[in-house]
């Protein structure tokens, strides 16, 4: 396969390679998981002639791909990270894997979230390899798996420099740039999340005489009503973070019962509790437990959380943000630092002690949509900004 001539062509190719995350569903097929993206990226880095590696995360299913460009004499390392997977394609009104270029946009699943950012990073990395600007740092490009579901890829990556899983990143980088659609602004803080299940239990019986049983769904109704009252109290009880706002709680799913003619003996809800800097997931769950215990006359069961995503704190990334803003302005005009309510890989690199920011082309409003697209002008500007940042990076604060 010939090398792409433009970043637009590169993105169109990436969109045309399905890498759908099944999002916990038991699905198989060529459109699922990141295998074909891994193959393409290994070929891309091999053509550049740089050291690169595939690191299996879930054998036979998902891997991370890393490449490294060393700068002689540099003691500074910058990590550029973008995920390879996309959300599912059901309900899309355009060809999901078409990669169509029209009216100044590239269209298709992942074009905005986040293959646009991935393409821009790859294009900037390719230019760094070819030009090797004087004064540049060491640059590690990581293409990670499973961002859209359980973040296995980034969790694996941030352990790699401690446990020897990687040959290319053997110590923590000095800073990390995470690709997500930010419209060329710089995200310096965002919320985290803890997700878990609450269960109620009853006693099953034939629905012809429900008095012989104990309805777990009715019990769950009281739990949901209590949580509906808890949610605004939670937001009002804490001082809002100046960039990301207050903590929040949402009940996202409810299910239970075996059949309509059986009184259900179990019911389950799934909770999404958004954290702000300073929150701890364990404390957040305990607070909910105590609130319910004081209002219910029956026991409920809390499952261990299946997702604990930390926050991105803006305590130590100001130097990175200022340097990025100085690279953005001559290319795209003045932009700003901001906080956002959603989560990114930056929370994991931040938690691992690496100052981190989030930056990329595209709008979060286009992510996951039925007609997903990205603006080509932003895509091309992001390439130049990533390159400038790595060509003349900020110095690590003393």
Kindly tell me if the per-residue pLDDT of 9 is higher than 90.
Answer: yes
* Rounded distance between C-alpha atoms, residue 172 and residue 117, angstroms: 23
* Residue 334 and residue 284 in one domain: no
* Residue 215 and residue 325 in one domain: no
pLDDT in tens, 368-388: 999 999 999 999 999 999 999
* Residue 322 and residue 274 in one domain: no
Mean of pLDDT values over 255-275: 97
* Rounded distance between C-alpha atoms, residue 137 and residue 69, angstroms: 9
Band (314; pLDDT cuts 50, 70, 90): very high
Q: Quote the pLDDT of residue 18.
A: 97
Q: Do the domain assignments include residue 87?
A: yes
| Residue 347 contacts residue 339 (beta carbons within 8 Å) | no
pLDDT in tens, 136-156: 999 999 999 999 988 999 999
Q: Quote the pLDDT of residue 16.
A: 98
Residue ranges of E strands in 130-247: 138-144, 175-178, 186-190, 192-201
Q: Do the domain assignments include residue 14?
A: yes
Q: Looking at the 3D structure of the chain, how many domains does it have?
A: 2
Q: Quote the pLDDT of residue 155.
A: 95
Q: What is the CATH number of the domain that holds 267?
A: 3.30.70.360
Q: Quote the pLDDT of residue 267.
A: 98
Task: Supply 144's token pair.
Answer: 């990670």
pLDDT in tens, 285-307: 999 999 999 999 999 999 999 98
pTM value? 0.91
The burial class, CB within 10 Å (0-12 / 13-18 / 19+), for 371 is: exposed
Q: Do the domain assignments include residue 398?
A: no
* Residue 79 and residue 111 in one domain: yes
Q: Do the domain assignments include residue 1?
A: no
Half-sphere exposure of 285 (CA within 13 A, CB side): 19
Residue-range definition of the domain harbouring residue 162: 7-190+311-391
Band (245; pLDDT cuts 50, 70, 90): very high
Q: Is the dihedral of CA 85, 343, 280, 228 positive or negative?
A: negative
Q: What is the CATH number of the domain that holds 348?
A: 3.40.630.10
């Amino acid at each position: 396969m010939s090398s792409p001539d433009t970043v637009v062509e590169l993105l169109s190719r990436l969109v045309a390679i399905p890498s759908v995350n099944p999002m916990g569903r038991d699905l198989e097929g060529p459109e699922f998981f990141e295998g074909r993206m891994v193959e393409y990226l290994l070929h891309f880095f091999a053509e550049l002639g740089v050291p690169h590696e595939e690191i299996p995360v879930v054998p036979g299913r998902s891997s991370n791909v890393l490449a490294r460009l060393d700068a002689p004499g540099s003691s500074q390392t910058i990590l550029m990270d973008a995920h390879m997977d996309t959300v599912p394609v059901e309900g899309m009104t355009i060809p999901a894997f078409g990669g169509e270029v029209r009216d100044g946009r590239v269209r298709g699943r992942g074009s905005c979230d986040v293959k646009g950012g991935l393409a821009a990073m790859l294009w900037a990395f390719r230019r760094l390899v070819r030009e090797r600007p004087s004064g540049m740092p060491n640059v590690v490009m990581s293409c990670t798996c499973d961002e859209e579901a359980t973040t296995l890829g980034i969790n694996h990556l941030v352990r790699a420099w401690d446990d020897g899983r990687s040959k290319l990143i053997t110590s923590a980088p000095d800073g990390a740039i995470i690709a997500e659609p930010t419209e060329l602004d710089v995200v310096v803080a965002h919320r985290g999340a803890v997700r878990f299940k609450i269960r109620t239990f009853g006693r099953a019986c034939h629905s012809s005489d429900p008095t012989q049983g104990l309805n777990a769904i009715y019990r769950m109704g009281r739990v949901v009503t209590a949580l509906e009252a808890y949610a605004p109290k939670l937001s009002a009880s804490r001082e809002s973070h100046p960039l990301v706002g207050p903590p929040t709680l949402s009940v996202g799913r409810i299910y239970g019962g075996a059949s309509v003619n059986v009184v259900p003996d179990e019911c389950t809800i799934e909770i999404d509790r958004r954290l702000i800097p300073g929150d701890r997931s364990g404390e957040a769950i305990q607070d909910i437990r105590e609130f319910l215990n004081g209002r219910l006359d029956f026991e409920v069961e809390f499952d261990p959380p299946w997702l604990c995503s930390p926050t991105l704190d803006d305590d130590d990334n100001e130097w990175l943000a200022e340097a990025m803003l100085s690279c953005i302005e001559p290319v795209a005009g003045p932009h700003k630092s901001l906080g956002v309510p959603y989560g990114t890989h930056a929370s994991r690199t931040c938690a691992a002690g690496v100052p981190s920011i989030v930056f990329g082309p595209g709008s979060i409003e286009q992510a996951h949509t039925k007609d997903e697209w990205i603006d080509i002008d932003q895509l091309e500007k992001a390439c130049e900004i990533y390159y400038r940042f790595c060509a003349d990076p900020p110095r690590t604060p003393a």
